[in-house]
Amino acid sequence: MVILKTARTIAKMREAGRISSRALREAGKAVEPGVSTLEIDTIVRRYIEKQGAVPSFLGYCDFPASACISVNNVVIHGIPSAKTILRQGDIVSIDIGAEFEGYHGDNAYTFACGDVSDEAKALMRATKESLYEGIKNAVAKNRIGDIGFAVQQYVEARSYSVVRDFVGHGVGAKLHEDPNVPNYGTPGRGVRLLPGMTIAIEPMVTQGTHKVRILDDGWTTVTADGKLAAHYEHTVAVTSDGPIILTLPD
């Protein structure tokens, strides 16, 4: 069931989004060669808790950390570890949620660790730009398929693939709510967008096949062909005046 939010609720979600976004910014500052993903996760948890909020991911379905940190061919759900040490040229996708006063903000960004290849830069740029193409279509009276189609068309025109097995989602008092928000679709199809809907739009884009596999830990999701992946995400409110990004630091 899709839950429509009041203006007051959206204001609360904006604060949760600010905290989540600022935590993501702090995480990005720490992305440097020689740093472990566990160190970055510690930074995230400390920042969120210092703001009086709770890391949305910590303990969610038994996930053991405050951030998903996914390096190179890891698409999503990378588990932070002291053994995972960042190296020059890595691309690092960090996904963070924060719960504040009962509501969640959810966002992700792919960071370059030092100098990265031109191929990695192009993938990151296309993925980030596809997110904003999706957001442009998060307009009242459009449908979910319009968002997915916009993302898919932008990505595939650049010879990349969108992951099909994982999708965006509604956000609110729960981290994951209805509706699902795929990064592919048909214009004019799917759930109609209404003012008060709050959704996470999150393109997960790969250099090669769209197919992925989940490792034995039950979380870490990698590209099936070992090629690079990037991931960007914002929580967005659908309003009568157009989409509003709730996960902005200021």
Question: 67-76: per-residue pLDDT in tens?
Answer: 999 999 999 9
Domain annotation covers residue 247? no
Question: 203-218: per-residue pLDDT in tens?
Answer: 999 999 999 999 999 9
Which CATH number do you get for residue 224? 3.90.230.10
Question: 138-194: per-residue pLDDT in tens?
Answer: 999 999 999 999 999 999 999 999 999 999 999 999 999 999 999 999 999 999 999
Domain annotation covers residue 248? no
Domain annotation covers residue 245? no
Domain annotation covers residue 168? yes
Q: Which domain holds residue 92?
A: 7-240
How high does pLDDT run on average in the chain? Answer: 98
Number of Cα atoms under 13 Å in the Cβ half of residue 71 = 20
Neighbouring-strand partners of residue 237: 198, 244
pLDDT over 90 (residue 130): yes
**Structure confidence at residue 250 as a pLDDT band (50, 70, 90):** confident
Domain annotation covers residue 249? no
3-class SS string, the chain: CECCCCHHHHHHHHHHHHHHHHHHHHHHHCCCCCCEHHHHHHHHHHHHHHCCCEECCCCHHHCCCCEEEEECCEEECCCCCCCCECCCCCEEEEEEEEEECCEEEEEEEEEECCCCCHHHHHHHHHHHHHHHHHHHCCCCCCEHHHHHHHHHHHHHCCCCEECCCCCEEECCCCCCEEEEECCCCCCCCCCECCCCCEEEECCEEECCCCCEEECCCCCCEEECCCCCEEECEEEEEEECCEEEECCCCC
Domain annotation covers residue 95? yes
Other CB atoms closer than 10 Å to residue 62's CB: what's the count? 7
Average pLDDT (219-239) is 98
Domain annotation covers residue 112? yes
Domain annotation covers residue 178? yes
| Structural domains of the chain, count | 1
